[in-house]
Amino acid sequence: MADKKIEKFGSIRLKSDKKAAKKYLRIPLAVIIIIAILIVAFNIAGDILTSNISDAIKLIPYGFSQGSGYPYSFEQSTFKKAVTVSEQMGVLTEDSYSLLNRTANPTAKFKVSLNDPKVCSSNGRSVVYSNLSNVIYTYSKTKQINKSECAGVVTSADISSHGAVAACCRGEDSRSVIDVFNCKGKLEFEWKCYDEYITSASLSPFGKYVAVCLIGAENVDVYSRILMFKTDDTTARLDLKLKDTTALKIVSLKFNKILVICNNKSLIIDKDGNILQEFDYSGESPEKIFVDDSHNSLICYGILGGTGYRTIVISPYAQVKSDFNIDFKPSSCYNSKNKIVFSAGSLFRVYRNDGVMINTTETDNIIDSVYILADRVYTVANGSVFKFKY
């Protein structure tokens, strides 16, 4: 009888041990699968994904700690610009660049030594530069990853979703220069312009193509010139001159199409220079222009006769995803996937892509700039970043 009990107990224990073994075997197996997936992903997406995953791991502890909450205050006189960096807010001042999580906990703070710094961001990376320096700094969400020297003083910059950086510069032996650095900070492309001034550039997601906007003059007539390069060749794939208009910003779209935002119209152009679509402003100039990480481009301009402001959002696939009017003059704007927010004075309004207004909020301060992250609106006003639910 005792032997049967022992045998039964041994059988139960053996089953239990097998279950435990299977349970613990699942853990290393899951880890192996994850590592294998990451190795494949690294090979496909390269260094930008590596740094993003590294950032995610380093930011895990901040998910369990609470910041002091919004509003987040800074010295108003030193403030330069705020940007969104994935799911975080980036705040640039004269001497620092801070990244804030949803509870205003600074997950990173970088010292800035540039005079009058500027910033742009995309897909978890930020570029800090100055119109008084030839040096640009690239940051992930946790560390400085690149410091690059450009051909001349930087006038504007762009960063692709995979971490390549384009810098428009003043040339020493030319009027202007465009430099393109890969995600590791290595110079991949440089083109010098001797006749015109490069005003803006826009990279394709992987940084393999760069669209460039130039301004020139013939006698007394000002013209714009649009170029597109593959970054392994200094021969332009596209060279288009636009007369009777001044190009303000250029945006790379999918399938080698380009959006050119001008002072009196916007154009969608294909790789052969054909104008696919034109948006005329009817004699008005753009009131606000905003381009998000995914290259959704918002253009807001006054309607002739002063009856309101037309808002157009063009997707990276060269499609019009929004076209509606608002009845007030916006002081700032931001579009994020399927939401658009405008501010005017101390209030902000949130719209869907179809133009339906879904929220109006009156705040206690005059809003300098406005942003959307997930289901929250962030405003910069009076030396602080505020957070609102809508």
Element containing residue 221 per DSSP (H, E): strand 221-230
Q: What is the pLDDT of residue 141?
A: 94
| pLDDT for residue 38 | 43
CATH topology of domain 283-390: Neuraminidase (2.120.10)
Mean pLDDT score across all residues of the chain: 86
Which of 57 and 352 is assigned the larger pLDDT?
352
Q: What is the pLDDT of residue 51?
A: 55
The pLDDT confidence band at residue 242, using thresholds 50, 70 and 90, is very high
For β-strands 357-362 and 347-352, DSSP reports them as: antiparallel
The region of weakest confidence among 43-52, 123-132, 141-150, 298-307 is 43-52
Task: Tell me what pLDDT residue 54 has.
Answer: 54
User: What pLDDT sits at residue 60?
Assistant: 47
- Are the CB atoms for 249 and 289 separated by under 8 Å? yes
pLDDT per residue as tens digits for the range 301-342: 999 888 899 999 999 999 999 999 999 999 999 998 789 999
pLDDT on residue 33: 45
301 within 8 A of 307, measured Cβ to Cβ = no
- Find the mean pLDDT for residues 40-54: 50
Q: Please tell me the distance from the alpha carbon of residue 197 to that of residue 155, in angstroms, as a whole number.
A: 10
Q: What is the pLDDT of residues 263-290, one digit of tens each?
A: 999 999 999 999 999 999 977 889 999 9
Q: CA-CA distance, 196 to 147, in Å (whole number)? A: 28
Q: What is the pLDDT of residues 209-233, one digit of tens each?
A: 999 999 998 888 889 999 999 999 9
CA-CA distance, 323 to 113, in Å (whole number)? 42
Contact between residue 248 and residue 264 where contact means Cβ atoms under 8 Å apart:
no
> pLDDT tens digits, residue range 91-135?
999 999 999 999 999 999 999 999 999 999 999 999 999 999 999
Q: For residue 114, give the DSSP letter.
A: S
State the pLDDT at residue 191: 97
pTM to 2 decimal places:
0.82
Q: What is the pLDDT of residue 206?
A: 85
Between CA 1 and CA 207 the distance in angstroms is 77
- Rounded CA-CA distance 298/334 in Å is 8
Report the alpha-carbon distance of residue 311 to residue 300 in Å, rounded.
4
- Write down the pLDDT at residue 28: 52
Please tell me the predicted confidence (pLDDT) of residue 306.
80
- Say what the pLDDT of residue 44 is: 43
Q: What is the mean pLDDT of residues 142-168?
A: 96
Please tell me the distance from the alpha carbon of residue 298 to that of residue 355, in angstroms, as a whole number: 13
Q: What is the pLDDT of residues 351-371, one digit of tens each?
A: 999 999 999 999 999 999 999
Averaged over 62-73, what is the pLDDT?
72
